Amino acid sequence: MIRYLMQRIVTMAMTLAAVSVLVFAIIQLPPGDYLTSYIAEIQAQGEQVTADKIQFLREEYGLDKPVWEQYLVWVTGLVQGDLGYSFEYNQPVADVVGERMPLTLILNAATVIFIYLVSFPIGIYSATHQYSWSDHGLSFLGFLGLATPNFLLALILLYLANVWFGTSVGGLMAPEYIDAPWSLAKLGSVLAHLWVPVVVIGTAGTAGMIRRLRANLLDELNRQYVVTARAKGLPERRILFKYPLRMALNPFIADLGSILPQIVSGSVIISAVMSLPTTGPMLLSSLRSQDMYLAGSFLMFLAMLTVVGMFVSDILLAVLDPRIRLGVKGAR
């Protein structure tokens, strides 16, 4: 077990190192750098920008150094827990991101809970009622959630929420609560705004989850032991909950690692469309303005979530299922 653990940790570290190079390369891909967009912007305001000034700013931002040096600076910072400096916000990345972290976590946690709450009963129901009308209807609904372009759904719900309930447009709370301390009223306002993005981001994930749960459960339900149990006259409910459901849940543990990063990155567009005070819109704008340390550290954070998530779920599975752990080599 310990060997397996060590092995996984080493590959994880290597993966992360490679990812950091890739991430940095991707950010550098678009032509120009932060200064080109910054200069265009100050010019648009009628300020004169001379070649000298540009050079000055470039040195000021450290953009005059070769790319590999910029990369090294960034990576050594990352290892030491320093995420770098955001040009756009003129502040350390950690501060910029940190400010939005709590609400981002709330949103994502709410979405995960929504997905599990909705997909479990539906998945179990459609597996036990396979090929019935309600099964078809429910999986159709699930597919529909998957097939609808999220961003439009967000816009439509945003509009309806405003017209029907008078919810302020966009954001996660009414504007007057943004800098107010937490209170019941503020919590209510957050809840009134939260359901739209949660539903919109959730729908896509829900469909996949329902389908997986249904397929897994069906597999289990067709097994010999279930037939045996049924033949012995155990009540259906008991059969279902005693073994097949537990077995069917196994893959969900494997999913746990990947679902969070999926939601985080999936919520980027929605957050931008709905102007949520989460990290999504920030990531988008930083990519656009080539605010490279902000974008880079952010992408790195998401990649880390995935890699660590995969690691954790692998370990969990190995703990749960000795076959994986013992057959690391042979199972290939």
Partner 1 sequence: MPQGPGPGTVRSRLRRAAAAAAFPLFFGLLAIAPAHAAGSAEPKSLAAAVEKGDLPPLAERLPSVPRVLPVDSPCSAKDLGGTLNMLAGSAKDTRLMPVFGYARLVGYDSDYQIVPDILQSFDVEEGRIFTFHLRPGMKWSDGKPFTSEDFRYFWEDMAKNPKIAKFGIPPELLADGQEPVVTFPDDYTVIYAWPKPNPGFLAALAAATPFDIYRPAHYLKKYNPNYTDPKKVEEKVEKSGQRNWVALHFKKDRAQRNDNPDMPTLQPWMLVTEPPSERLIFARNPYFFRVDKEGRQLPYVDEVALIISNPGLIPAKVANGEADLQAAYLSFPNYPFLKRGEKRSHYDLRRWKSGKGAHVALYPNLNAKDPVWRKLLQTAKFRRALSLSINRDDINKAIFYGLAEPGGNTVLPGSPFFDAKLRSAWSVYDPDRANAMLDSLGLERDEPDGLRRLPDGREMRIVVETAGESREQSDVLQLVRDDWRKLGIELLIRESQREIFRNRVKAGSTLISVWTGLDNGLPGPASDPGELVPSTAEQLEWPGYGMWVETHGTGGEAPGDTPDMQPLKQLIALREAWRASLDAGERAKIWREALQIFANQVYTIGIVSGVDQLVVVSDALENVPEHGVYNYDPGAFFGMYNPDTFYFACPAVDTAEKRP
Partner 2 sequence: MSQIPHFISTEPFDAEATVAAGSVVSERYARASQARLIWWRFLRHRLAVVSLLFLVVSYASILVVEFLAPYELNSRHTDFIFAPPQAVHLFHEGRFVGPFVYPLDYSLDMETLRRTYEPDRAQPLPIRFFCHGERYRMWGLIEADTHLVCPPEGGTLFLLGTDRLGRDMLSRMIYGARISLTIGLVGVTLSFILGISIGGLAGYFGGWVDATVQRVTEILRSLPELPLWLALSAALPLTWSPLLVYFGITLILALLDWPGLARAVRSKLFALREEDFVVAAEMLGASPRRIIFRHLLPNFMSHLIASASLSIPTMILAETALSFLGLGLRPPITSWGVLLSEAQNIEAVALYPWLLLPMLPVVLVVLAFSFVGDGLRDAVDPYQH
Residues making contact with partner 2 (CB under 8 A): 11, 14-15, 18-19, 22-23, 26-27, 29-31, 136, 143-144, 146-152, 155-156, 158-159, 162, 169, 261, 264-266, 268-269, 272-273, 283-284, 287-288, 295, 298-299, 302-303, 306-307, 310, 332
Among 29, 45, 68, 329, binds partner 1 (CB under 8 A): 45
The listed partner (partner 1, partner 2, none) that binds 321, CB under 5 to 8 Å by sort, is none
272 is a site residue for partner 1 (CB under 8 A) = yes
The listed partner (partner 2, partner 1, none) that binds 241, CB under 5 to 8 Å by sort, is none
Cα angle: 29, vertex 32, 38; to 5 degrees? 130
CA distances from 100 to 78, 104, 184, 271, 311 (A): 20, 6, 20, 12, 26
309 is a site residue for partner 1 (CB under 8 A) = no
Q: Which residues are bridge partners to 85 per DSSP?
A: 92
Is the CB of 8 or the CB of 65 nearer to partner 1?
65
Contact 306, 258 (CB under 8 A): yes
Backbone angles phi, psi at 84, to 5 degrees: 95, -170
Query: Residue 327 is inside which H or E element, if any?
Result: none
296 is a site residue for partner 1 (CB under 8 A) = no
CA–CA separation, 296 vs 84, rounded Å? Answer: 9
Three-class secondary structure of residue 164 per DSSP: helix
3 is a site residue for partner 1 (CB under 8 A) = no
139 is a site residue for partner 1 (CB under 8 A) = no
Cα radius of gyration rounded to whole Å, the chain: 24
Is the CB of 239 or the CB of 269 nearer to partner 2?
269
Is the CB of 159 or the CB of 225 nearer to partner 1?
159
Report which DSSP code applies to 91: E
Residue 172 makes CB contacts below 8 A (sequence gap 6+) with 103, 107, 190, 193, 194, 197, 276, 277, 278
Residue 265 beta carbon to partner 2: minimum distance, rounded to whole angstroms? 4
Residues shown for the chain: 332
Residue 269 beta carbon to partner 2: minimum distance, rounded to whole angstroms? 6
Is the CB of 44 or the CB of 331 nearer to partner 1?
44
Backbone angles phi, psi at 90, to 5 degrees: 60, 40
Query: Residue 170 is inside which H or E element, if any?
Result: none
125 is a site residue for partner 1 (CB under 8 A) = no
Residue 149 beta carbon to partner 1: minimum distance, rounded to whole angstroms? 15
Report which DSSP code applies to 46: T
Query: In the block, which residue shows the tokens 């929504």?
Result: 114
The listed partner (partner 2, partner 1, none) that binds 95, CB under 5 to 8 Å by sort, is partner 1
Q: How many residues bind partner 1 (CB under 8 A)?
A: 47
Q: Which residues are bridge partners to 86 per DSSP?
A: 91
Report which DSSP code applies to 63: T
Handedness of CA 14, 20, 25, 30 (dihedral sign): positive
Nearest Cα residue to 105 out of 172, 19, 182: 172
The listed partner (partner 1, partner 2, none) that binds 96, CB under 5 to 8 Å by sort, is partner 1
128 is a site residue for partner 1 (CB under 8 A) = no
Is the CB of 114 or the CB of 298 nearer to partner 2?
298
102 is a site residue for partner 1 (CB under 8 A) = no
Footprint of partner 1 (CB under 8 A) = 31-32, 36-37, 39-41, 43-48, 50, 52-53, 55-56, 60, 62, 85, 88-92, 95-96, 99-100, 158-159, 162, 168-171, 175, 178-179, 272-275, 277, 281, 285
